[in-house]
Amino acid sequence: MSGSHAMIEIRGLRKDYGRVQALKGIDLTVPGGQLFAYLGPNGAGKSTTIRILTGLTRMSGGSASLGGFDIERDAIAAKRQFGVVQQYVNLDQELTVFENLDIHCRLFAMKKKARRERIDRLLAYVDMTDRASTLIKKLSGGLKRRVTIARALLHGPSILFLDEPTVGLDAAIRRRIWALIKKIQQEGTTIFLTTHHIEEAEFLAERVAFLDEGRIVALDTPSNLMARVGSWAIDLVEDSGMKTRYFSTREEADRFRAHGAFTMRRVNLEDAFLSLTGKKVGQ
């Protein structure tokens, strides 16, 4: 499953909705086993990219392959490579957890014994063995999210797409989901994560792409992206609004802080994004 070869390859990917260009030529390679975060504000094109890669939306130009299979020419083979967790819960509310998982296995033509084994294993994996016969509509939002993650992993995909997997969840549940995502990646699955939660990308990702208005504006490790703006930051309230000063060393920041009652903090990915685009990720 894992390895350094490219699991996701995107070349010149474009998507037009009439005159609106949602994606303006995305080039991206994600090697096997990497946890890759695709970061950008709402409307930047994150979900559109995932929808194209997972076969839900038609591309307007360019090409993409998953596990070496072209998503247009070898669509069925490409679809066998991945599991996907959408930002909305797309489970059958009137069916039980087990039934939802079983239908997914059948869509992937899994045999009866394999279906049973994988469902048992994945339910244990997401700590929901005792919920197998519960109707989906009776589960909380966090539990539903765990079912969608279990479902995406049932057929043993080498790539997992996570489209805003923690949107709408409270902080405690979000951290449980993060731990689960880390565990999945450590087992060798390539993870492509879209998020506008800065801390999510910082905590999880090995490599981050900043997406803004349909273009990748930066692509690097979180530490390198943050190092571009500095190591320390001081937020200043000015007449024109909030301003942030960045410093390479703590000593420089300390010297500046001596001139007033400022709060000093470590630089984060939001700062890197802001300095590149002039926007906040959460906008």
For Cα atoms 168, 169, 173, give the angle at the middle one, nearest 5 degrees: 170
Please, which residue, 83 or 230, has the CB nearer to another protein?
Answer: 83
Number of C-alpha atoms within 13 angstroms, CB side, residue 82? 31
Binding site for another protein (CB under 8 A): 17, 54-58, 76-77, 79-80, 82, 84, 86, 88, 90-95, 99, 103-104, 106-109
CB of 45 to another protein, least distance (A): 14
- Please state the three-class secondary structure of 154-216 as a single string: CCCCCEEEEECCCCCCCHHHHHHHHHHHHHHHHCCCEEEEEECCHHHHHHHCCEEEEEECCEE
Please, which residue, 99 or 199, has the CB nearer to another protein?
Answer: 99
How far CA 234 is from CA of 198, 247, 251, 256, in Å, comes to 18, 8, 13, 9
CB of 97 to another protein, least distance (A): 13
- Residues 236 and 280 sit within 8 Å (Cβ to Cβ): no
Please, which residue, 42 or 283, has the CB nearer to another protein?
Answer: 42
CB of 80 to another protein, least distance (A): 5
CB of 250 to another protein, least distance (A): 48
Please, which residue, 57 or 63, has the CB nearer to another protein?
Answer: 57
